Amino acid sequence: MNSLVLFIAIILYLAVLFLIAFFAEKKSKSKWVNNPYVYSLSLAVYCTAWTYYGSIGVAAETGVSFLAIYLGPVIAAPLWILILKKIIRISKQHKISSIADFISLRYGNNRFLGALITVICVLGIVPYISLQLKAVSESFEIMTHGEVIENQAVLSDYTIYIAVLIAVFATFFGTQKTDASEKHKGIVASVAFESIIKLVFFLGVGIYVTFYLFNGTEDVYNQISSHENFKSLTTLDNVESGFNWFFMILLSFFAIFLLPRQFQVSVVENDREKHLKKAIWLFPLYLLLFNIFVIFIAWAGIVKFGSTSNSSYYALLLPLKEGNVFMALLVFIGGFSAVISMVVVSTLALSTMVSNNLIIPYGFLSKFIKGEQGKNTSYIKRIRRISIFLIIIAAYYFYYYFSVPLSLYSIGLVSFVIISQLAPSFFMGLFWNRGSSRGAIVGLIIGFCVTLYTLVLPMSIEAFTGSRDFIENGLFGVENLKPFALFGIDFLSPHAHAVFWSLLLNLLAFAVVSLSFKGNYRERNYAEMFIDPRNYSTLGDNALVWKGEAYVADIKNVLVKFLGVSRTERALSLFFRKYNLPPDTQMADARLISFSEKLLTGSIGGASSKILIANVVKEQEISLVEVLEILNESKEALANNKALKEKSDELSKLTAELKNSNNELLFQYKQKDEFLDTVAHELKTPLTTIKASTEILKDDIEEMEPEMQKTFLGNIEKEVDRLARLVNHILDIEKLENNRQKLNLTQSNIDNTISNVVNNLSHLAKEKNIEIRFETKNSATLFYDEDRIIQVLTNLLSNAIKFNEKKNGEIIISYTTNESWLEVAFEDDSKGIDEIDKNHIFDKFYQSENQNTLKPKGSGLGLAISKQIIQKHGGDIWLKQSDKNGSIFVFKLPFQ
Amino acid sequence: MKKILLVDDEPNIVMSLEYTFKKKGFEVYIARDGSEALEILENNIPDIILLDVMMPKVDGYQTIKLIKENEKLKHIKIVFLSAKSKSSDIEKGLSLGADKYLLKPFSVKKLVSEVNELLD
């Protein structure tokens, strides 16, 4: 394939990635950018060119051992997610932007520790990046020349241009914001896209090789089984290789946490904790899919080419050999994707570490203190950009001058071993509160040195001098100092051996130093926060113990230098509001110190922000005991607050309930009072007539005309009746309202009942010349208390008679039935009832104010009693306007 | 001849009072509520008014207010006859300008003597 065409294809592909990143950055709130799938796919930045090409090489040369690197994350996925949750929580709380920041914060924002970790990461990762560049260069050569050509001039090597393009990409999308703890949505989206591309194309070539070049997996297996080395390629032959497996799996488990690029995508770029729930199965699934065809491509390569030279590039060579350039191009793009995503995320992560944990805290703090915000932020960005370019250029030179003699796989593993040195301080720091910064530093240095001695040094000496003397005889010829077999441990592979010794000594040093020397109070403070983040996240800024003297104005001055005036003002006013402090607070407390440090951490790293803030405050030493006491107090205070709040909530709920029932009682009391008042009034009114009439009769009986006497006596009689009726009604309604009236339900015929009532009242109607019309129909029988219903009917009918003022009035009684209801209606043709009255006519003692007639003698309780009776039967009663202007009283009773 | 206005919505009470005061030589006017009373007062100025409190339309309280606001009427003696016996009711009635507040049921003799006393 023409190299220019291939280069153009690369440029086009980069342009696509640029567009994806650009739009993701632009629509950073969109669902397409923020979802668990993008998150899970971005984690697959773990699969680099080493996976894409290297695994096949390893599989061809040594068999299934390549799997260990992928089994670690798969086996440990549940545990990984569990720990990751904790790490994410802590990191968000403290605006952590890299693993160096994370570990150094755990050990009290220790500047040296942060810098040390940064150096170790750079030393570990730069060769790894160079490995990726090497893969690009080699795959490029295979695509264009069909084989790997060694040592070209720098400028004629396309790889340098590709490296520069990747650096531009990383710079453009990685340094838009000063705060490195902010999300880089563009980069994450492009990484997710690349993860799809590399998986799909790799599976594609796997299917192509297995099913087109061969007749399926069985065919590949049959053909390879006749191969001479077959047995060693497929089995774990002894206990030693079991150990090797164990250490490789351990290594990959550490790598998934500790690789700066993994920390970047899984922690810093994590948007929501719940995305982990998808990642817990998606990411292992991704790794498994990726590894399905590795072994078949490797076997196919061995079968087709006979030799294992260039076995790493079987995926490219196999389609090329068959003349399928297009397939090869897809494979190349897939591998290129693996490279770009790894290089971009790694350089981004490293540049953040280099700037925030190395360059700024050691070189730029005094400059920043003098500078102003605009200048400072552009300095910070410039430092990061230069770091990105420096890292990529360093990687290129490493590739150019050193990597040639070393295989992809071995460089990758060395890189893993170096990074795994962070494991003791990282994991122990999460679970052991005694771990101290001094222990972490000593452990790291020892572990790193052991790695150099047992792995880097012997491999380099062998690669560059060709001499195995050092390896075979040890340092100064001492048997116990043989780099691959320290103190007689000679049964492990060099890498597993290095992992064993370096981590063992690292861990021991960490533990011994931590136990022997007390850490300072600040690291203990952070230790407590890291170990129990759930608890301390509720404490918020209270979790930092700090004593001393500080002025808000001084701290504000520092903040302004990085955030600018308006952002500082906004942040502080939010802070004051959060803790209910007056906005003109003069003296700063521990909370403000903690808050301000966090504000700066994203921009300049934890160590620097601690130093800058410490510059403007007078801090008092606190003893470790005091720190723990204060922390416990805050925890207790928080728990107490919570309990108090619960109690007070409960109390206010109770108060509200009491208030309600009190209101209800008051209302009932008032109603009772009004009722009694009305009853008294209603009783006194007939009594007044009776008393007055009897008094008159007693005094005047001799001279009074008999006719007059009769009238007075008649009045007395009527009023006595009225009294008796009133008393009965009061007793009735009292019983009904208090549920003391039991209904005596019997099966009765409504026609009979109505006819009865009509007969009883016919004389009253005749007196007023009113015609009552009731036509019996298909007689309906149902269950009701006949006496009570008679009471209702009587009341309604007598009302209709009483209030009818027409000379020849008419009252029509009718009823209808349906499946569930009987509806009885009383229609009259009198003047009807006013709107206002309609709403109250069923109230007790309600008497219309619009009666023109002399007040008819009612108790004022008739309709109220009727309503109660009907409702007791499960029915309802209401009033409506008739067509003839009169009114219709309707009640309905249920059949059931 | 003394004139008396009886205002009550209970016809039997009114009848008793009408009989009593006619016999005592009063000229008797009758109203069934406040508005009827005010109508009568437009053309007739009685010496005394016996006023019920709880009546439809215009009640006793409103009626006495309207009477006391009227220059021509405010000198008329007013006696409340009411079943409302709470001290607050009595105080309210007197504060509105009534000369007496008698509770129902009342003694006719006592009522007559109170009326005479007020008119002397």
Percent of chain A at pLDDT > 90 equals 10
**A826: helix, strand or coil:** strand
Single out the residue of A810, A751, A779, A792 nearest to residue A877, CA to CA. A792
Query: CA B6, CA B26: separation in Å to the nearest integer?
Result: 11
Query: CA A392, CA A188: separation in Å to the nearest integer?
Result: 19
B83–A689 CB contact, under 8 Å: no
Please name the residue that has the structure tokens 């280099």.
A354
pLDDT at A230: 61
Asked whether residue B67 carries a pLDDT value surpassing 50, the answer given is yes
Give the pLDDT mean for A68-90: 81
Beta bridge partners of A747: A783
B106–A692 CB contact, under 8 Å: yes
Rounded to a whole number of angstroms, the distance from the CA of B89 to the nearest CA of chain A is: 12
For B13, the closest chain A residue by CA position comes to: A689
For residue A260, cis peptide bond before it (omega within 30 degrees of 0) = no
Give the pLDDT mean for A160-187: 82
Tell me which DSSP letter residue A211 carries: I
pLDDT at A857: 53
Question: Is A712 in CB contact (< 8 Å) with chain B?
Answer: yes
Asked whether residue A239 carries a pLDDT value surpassing 70, the answer given is no
Residue A171, phi then psi, degrees to nearest 5: -65, -45
pLDDT at A853: 41
User: What is the DSSP annotation of A461-483?
Assistant: HHHHH---HHHHH-GGG-GGG-T
Kindly list the residues from chain A whose CB atom is less than 8 angstroms away from the CB atom of residue B88.
Answer: none
Quickly list H helices, A739-834: 750-767, 786-802
Give the pLDDT mean for A283-309: 84
CA dihedral A682, A687, A692, A694 (to 10 degrees): 150
Query: CA A13, CA A166: separation in Å to the nearest integer?
Result: 12
B108–A848 CB contact, under 8 Å: no
Single out the residue of A77, A330, A34 nearest to residue A196, CA to CA. A330
A692–B23 CB contact, under 8 Å: no
User: What is the DSSP annotation of A379-419?
Assistant: HHHHHHHHHHHHHHHHHHHHIIIIITTS-HHHHHHHHHHHH
pLDDT at A409: 67
Query: How many CA atoms does the CB half-sphere of A706 hold within 13 Å?
Result: 0
Burial of A165 (0-12, 13-18, 19+ CB in 10 A): middle
Which strand ranges, in their side-by-side order, compose the sheet holding B48-52? B27-31, B3-7, B48-52, B77-82, B100-103
Lowest-confidence pick of A2-16, A668-682, A698-712: A668-682
pLDDT at A615: 73
A715–B57 CB contact, under 8 Å: no
Single out the residue of A602, A688, A675 nearest to residue A864, CA to CA. A675
Rounded to a whole number of angstroms, the distance from the CA of B10 to the nearest CA of chain A is: 7
Asked whether residue A860 carries a pLDDT value surpassing 50, the answer given is yes
Query: CA A586, CA A623: separation in Å to the nearest integer?
Result: 26
Biggest distance spanned by C-alpha atoms of chain B: 36
Burial of A851 (0-12, 13-18, 19+ CB in 10 A): middle
Kindly indicate the confidence band of residue A625, based on its pLDDT and cuts at 50, 70 and 90: low
Query: CA A291, CA A56: separation in Å to the nearest integer?
Result: 9
Rounded to a whole number of angstroms, the distance from the CA of B61 to the nearest CA of chain A is: 16
Give the pLDDT mean for A391-405: 78
Kindly list the residues from chain B whose CB atom is less than 8 angstroms away from the CB atom of residue A710.
Answer: none
pLDDT at A854: 41
**Nearest by CB to A688, which of B23, B56, B104?**
B104
**Nearest by CB to B108, which of A692, A708, A848?**
A692
Residues sharing a CB contact under 8 Å with residue A323, sequence separation 6 or more, in sequence order: none
Query: Which position has the higher pLDDT, B94 or A1?
Result: B94
Please name the residue that has the structure tokens 């006819």.
A755
A695–B109 CB contact, under 8 Å: yes
The tokens of A817 are what?
A: 């039935």
A692–B85 CB contact, under 8 Å: no
Rounded to a whole number of angstroms, the distance from the CA of A677 to the nearest CA of chain B is: 8
pLDDT in tens, A129-153: 888 888 888 888 888 877 666 555 5
Instruction: Indicate the average pLDDT of chain A.
Output: 82
Kindly list the residues from chain B whose CB atom is less than 8 angstroms away from the CB atom of residue A699.
Answer: 109
Burial of A571 (0-12, 13-18, 19+ CB in 10 A): middle
Per-residue three-class SS string for A484-541: CCHHHCCCCCHHHHHHHHHHHHHHHHHHHHHHHCCCCHHHHHHHHHHHCHHHHHHHHH
Biggest distance spanned by C-alpha atoms of chain A: 158
Distances (CA, A) of A669 to A232, A236, A664, B83: 97, 91, 8, 21
pLDDT at A851: 47
Distances (CA, A) of B61 to A846, A856, B74: 20, 23, 14
Kindly list the residues from chain B whose CB atom is less than 8 angstroms away from the CB atom of residue A685.
Answer: 10, 13, 83, 104
Q: Are A349 and A267 in contact (CB under 8 A)?
A: no
Distances (CA, A) of A194 to A52, A325, A709: 13, 21, 117
pLDDT at A541: 67
Query: CA A391, CA A385: separation in Å to the nearest integer?
Result: 10
Beta-carbon count within 10 A of B24 CB: 13
Quickly list H helices, A259-372: 260-263, 275-291, 294-305, 314-321, 325-353, 365-370
Asked whether residue B38 carries a pLDDT value surpassing 60, the answer given is yes
A691–B15 CB contact, under 8 Å: no
Distances (CA, A) of A745 to A749, A873, A895: 12, 9, 12
Rounded to a whole number of angstroms, the distance from the CA of B15 to the nearest CA of chain A is: 9
Asked whether residue A31 carries a pLDDT value surpassing 70, the answer given is yes
Task: Please report, in angstroms and rounded to a whole number, the separation of the first and last CA atoms in chain B.
Answer: 13
Sign of the four-CA dihedral B76, B77, B82, B88: positive
Query: Which of B15, B16, B20 would you mutate first to test chain A, the one with the most A CBs within 10 A?
Result: B16
pLDDT at B117: 92
Question: What angle in degrees, to the nearest 10, is found between the helix axes of A294-305 and A275-291?
Answer: 20
Kindly list the residues from chain B whose CB atom is less than 8 angstroms away from the CB atom of residue A688.
Answer: 10, 13, 83, 104-106
Query: CA A440, CA A513: separation in Å to the nearest integer?
Result: 8
The tokens of B69 are what?
A: 């606001």
Question: Is B106 in CB contact (< 8 Å) with chain A?
Answer: yes
A691–B105 CB contact, under 8 Å: yes
pLDDT in tens, A488-497: 667 677 888 8
A695–B19 CB contact, under 8 Å: no
CA dihedral B69, B70, B74, B77 (to 10 degrees): -100
Per-residue three-class SS string for A421-442: HHHHHHHHHHHCCCCCHHHHHH
pLDDT at A852: 42
Query: CA A329, CA A319: separation in Å to the nearest integer?
Result: 9
Kindly list the residues from chain B whose CB atom is less than 8 angstroms away from the CB atom of residue A848.
Answer: 56
Residue B86, phi then psi, degrees to nearest 5: -70, 145
Give the pLDDT mean for B3-24: 93
Question: Is B108 in CB contact (< 8 Å) with chain A?
Answer: yes
pLDDT at B78: 95
Please name the residue that has the structure tokens 């006496």.
A787
Beta-carbon count within 10 A of A310 CB: 18
B13–A854 CB contact, under 8 Å: no
Asked whether residue A690 carries a pLDDT value surpassing 90, the answer given is yes
Residue B100, phi then psi, degrees to nearest 5: -145, 155
Asked whether residue A411 carries a pLDDT value surpassing 80, the answer given is no
Beta bridge partners of B49: B5, B78
Query: CA A6, CA A213: separation in Å to the nearest integer?
Result: 25
Beta bridge partners of B103: B82
Q: Are A755 and A776 in contact (CB under 8 A)?
A: yes
Q: Are strands B48-52 and B77-82 parallel, antiparallel or unpaired?
A: parallel
Question: What angle in degrees, to the nearest 10, is found between the helix axes of A494-516 and A437-451?
Answer: 160
Q: How would you classify residue A701: left for phi > 0, otherwise alpha for psi between -120 and 50, otherwise beta?
A: alpha
Query: Which of B6, B9, B10, B12 would you mutate first to test chain A, the one with the most A CBs within 10 A?
Result: B12
Sign of the four-CA dihedral A696, A702, A703, A709: positive
Residues sharing a CB contact under 8 Å with residue A242, sequence separation 6 or more, in sequence order: A236
Q: Amino acid identity of A234? A: T
Residues for chain A: how many in total? 896
**A584: helix, strand or coil:** coil
Residues 841-860 of A with CB under 8 A from B: 847-851, 854-855
pLDDT at A173: 82
Kindly indicate the confidence band of residue B51, based on its pLDDT and cuts at 50, 70 and 90: very high
Question: Is B120 in CB contact (< 8 Å) with chain A?
Answer: no
Residues 19-48 of B with CB under 8 A from A: 19-20, 23, 32
Residue A880, phi then psi, degrees to nearest 5: -140, 165
Asked whether residue A850 carries a pLDDT value surpassing 60, the answer given is no
Query: CA A428, CA A419: separation in Å to the nearest integer?
Result: 16
Kindly indicate the confidence band of residue A847, based on its pLDDT and cuts at 50, 70 and 90: low
pLDDT at A127: 86
Residues sharing a CB contact under 8 Å with residue A742, sequence separation 6 or more, in sequence order: none
pLDDT at A107: 86
B13–A689 CB contact, under 8 Å: yes
Rounded to a whole number of angstroms, the distance from the CA of A699 to the nearest CA of chain B is: 10
pLDDT in tens, A784-828: 988 889 989 998 888 888 877 777 788 889 888 888 888 898 888
